[in-house]
Structure 1
C-alpha cells in the first residue's frame, strides 16, 4: 500500500457506545461512506448501520447525578445538574464557540459575562469536539470530546480507610494522591489523567479555575456515550480545527484534514436535521 492509499474506512465497536457516539457525525470522510461495525476487529466485521446497534440499557445512575469512571476505576466521580452555584464562575469564551484566531482578545474575554457553559434552559452543559495539537499529542487521538462543567458540580468518590467511599467536592489541592496525575501542557494549563490506565480526565487553567473541561468518554450516561440528556453538543465548529495539520505535512496532513472536514460537515448536517425535525 502506498502513502496515497491511506484512508479511514470504518467505525468499529459502535455497539459499545449505545447511541452511536460521534460516528453519527462522521458518516462520510472525503468521498467515502464509512462502514459502521458493531464488533471489534478481533471478532470480525459485521456491517450494520449505526441505528441498528443501539440496544436498550438499564439505568446506571439516579436522575440527579451522572457517574463517570475511567477504565480501571481509579478515577470515579459524578456530575450534578446545573444549579445556582453553576452561574457564579466567570470564563472567557471557548475556541469551540468562537475561533480565537479570528476574534479579538477583548471579545474572547467575554466582557458581558455570558454563562456559555449552561445550556437548554439551565438543564445541560455545553459539549464539543477538539482538534488542537495539544489534545492530539497528549491523548494520541485526532478528536477529543469535552464538556464544560463548573467545579462546584463535580464530586469525587474517594475510598475511605474502612473500604467505603466518601463523596467530596472536586478540589485539586486536597484530592488524595494516587487518583489523578497532572501534566502542565503549557504554563498555567493543567491536564489530569489516570496514572493507572492513562485515561484523559480534565483540562483546566489558572485563568478559568472554576469551569472544568471534563473528558466526555468517562461519562456513564444510561442513554449512551454522547450523554444527550446531560450535554448540549456544539455543532457549528470543531475547536481549534485550524491546528489539524500543525506539525504535519504531506499525506499525514491531508488525511487529518479530511477527517476533521468530514466531522465538521457531519456536525452541521446533524444540526440541520435536528432543526428540521423540531419544526415539524
Structure 2
C-alpha cells in the first residue's frame, strides 16, 4: 500500500514567494537544527536560527535574494519583505534547508532535534526556554559549539545554570549605560542607551509600560505572532521595547541625533538625501499602520514601528551586543509569558510555544508584570 502523502508549504511575509513539497506522512516531522551562534543572531535579529532539510532538493531559489553568510552557507530571502526562507551550501551538503519560521503551522510538520553553538550566548540565550525532550521523550541535545568534528561538547538543557546572574544582578538597575546593536553585515550600527535615566514611575503609568518599575530595565518579550515569525524566519522571536530618544548613532559618527519619532525615521530612510549613518536600514510596510525595518543587505530584522506609538520602537534582541549575554539581562527584564501564543494553536508550534511558556514562567529571571500594549 502506497504511503499516504501530505503537502508542506513555506512562504514569506508578503507571500511573493511560496514553496510547496509533497512528502510521505511517514517522513515527517522535519528534523530542525537550531543554531544559537552570534552570527545567526545578528543575521536574523532573533535569539536563534532554525532550519531543516527541504524535501525537494531541486527547488528553484533563483528568484530569491542571495546573501553569502560564510564560505560554507548562502542565505535566501525575499527582496521585498526580507523574510528568510532557505539556506544552502557546504554546511547543508549543498542541499536546500528551509528556515522553519517560514513553514505553515500544520500538525507534525517539524520539530527541534538539536541545538548548537549555545556557548556563544554566554547565558544560554533562548535555549533555556526551548523543549528539552522530543515527543518520544528523547533528550534534545545541546552542544556548546559545533555538533560535528573534534572536541564536540554536549551541555545541559539549562546551561550555564540558573546562577549565571545573581538575584542581586537581575534586580539591579540597568548597566552598562550603552549597548551596541548591529546586524550581521554591519550595515546597521546603532547604540541603545539604558532606561536608568527614566526615573521610577508608578506601575500603573501606561506611558512607561515598557520599563520595569523596580529596576528601570526595558521589557523583553518572547513572542510567536505569525507576522513577526515570518519576518524573522524564526518560530519564536524576541523584542525589547524602548523610546526613540534612547537610540543613537555610534559616538564617532557625528553629533546629530537619531530620529525622535517613527515618522521622522521613516522619512529619513525614504529620503533621497538619506543620512549615511542609517546605513542599509530599509523597511517593509506590512499594514497601513506598521513598518518593519530590516537590513537591506543581510536581511536581519531590526525594528518594528506602529503608528499609535510614535516615539518608541520594538528592537530585535538578537542584534544587541550586551556583556551579560544574548538575553541582555543587565538591560532587559523579561516577561514570563509568550506573546501571541494563540497564533501557534493547532499546529506543530503549539507544543513548542507551550513548553517555552512553561519554562519561562519557571525561570527566576522573568517578571510577572503584564505587557500593556
TM-score range relative to shorter protein: 0.7 to 0.9
Distance 1:273 1:123 in 2: 14
Distance 2:296 2:198 in 1: 31
Residue 52 of structure 1, CA deviation:
4.8
Contact 1:69 1:75 in 2 (8 A): yes
Residue 223 of structure 1, CA deviation:
1.2
- What residue in structure 2 maps to residue 134 of structure 1? 227
Match of 1:73 among 180, 186, 195: 186
Residue 42 of structure 1, CA deviation:
5.2
What CA deviation, in whole Å up to 9, does each residue of 1:144-195 have, x standing for no partner?
A: 100000110011239xxxxx62354332133526431100111110000011
Classify 1:40/1:82 alpha carbon distance in 2 versus 1 (closer, same or farther; 3 Å): same
Match of 1:25 among 129, 137, 160: 129
Are residues 1:226 and 2:327 paired?
yes
Query: What SS class does the counterpart of residue 123 from structure 1 fall into?
Result: coil
What CA deviation, in whole Å up to 9, does each residue of 1:11-68 have, x standing for no partner?
A: 21101111100111225355454321112345475322253599x9xxxxx8311111
Distance 2:184 2:315 in 1: 15
- What residue in structure 2 maps to residue 36 of structure 1? 142
Residue 138 of structure 1, CA deviation:
1.4
**5 Å matches for 1:205-244?**
205-235=306-336, 237-244=337-344
Q: Give me the TM-score of the superposition, normalised by structure 1.
A: 0.73
What CA deviation, in whole Å up to 9, does each residue of 1:66-104 have, x standing for no partner?
A: 11111111111111122566899xxxxxxxxxxxxxxxx
- What residue in structure 2 maps to residue 7 of structure 1? 111
**5 Å matches for 1:58-69?**
63-69=176-182
Are residues 1:51 and 2:159 paired?
yes
Are residues 1:192 and 2:293 paired?
yes
Residue 122 of structure 1, CA deviation:
5.0
Contact 1:85 1:152 in 2 (8 A): no
Distance 1:122 1:272 in 2: 12
Query: What SS class does the counterpart of residue 280 from structure 2 fall into?
Result: coil
Distance 1:168 1:43 in 2: 49
Contact 1:38 1:53 in 2 (8 A): no
- What residue in structure 2 maps to residue 174 of structure 1? 268
Distance 2:307 2:199 in 1: 18
Are residues 1:263 and 2:288 paired?
no
Query: What SS class does the counterpart of residue 310 from structure 2 fall into?
Result: strand
- What residue in structure 2 maps to residue 59 of structure 1? none
| Structure with greater helix percent | 1
Deviates more, 1:264-273 or 1:210-219: 264-273
Classify 1:86/1:239 alpha carbon distance in 2 versus 1 (closer, same or farther; 3 Å): farther
Distance 1:52 1:124 in 2: 23
Unmatched 5+ stretches in structure 1: 57-61, 89-109, 159-163, 276-280
Distance 1:224 1:261 in 2: 24
Aligned pair count?
234
Are residues 1:152 and 2:207 paired?
no
Q: Give me the TM-score of the superposition, normalised by structure 2.
A: 0.56
Distance 1:86 1:151 in 2: 17
Distance 2:190 2:121 in 1: 20
Distance 1:42 1:144 in 2: 27
| Structure with greater strand percent | 2
Q: CA RMSD in A?
A: 3.1
Contact 1:17 1:224 in 2 (8 A): yes
Distance 1:132 1:87 in 2: 31
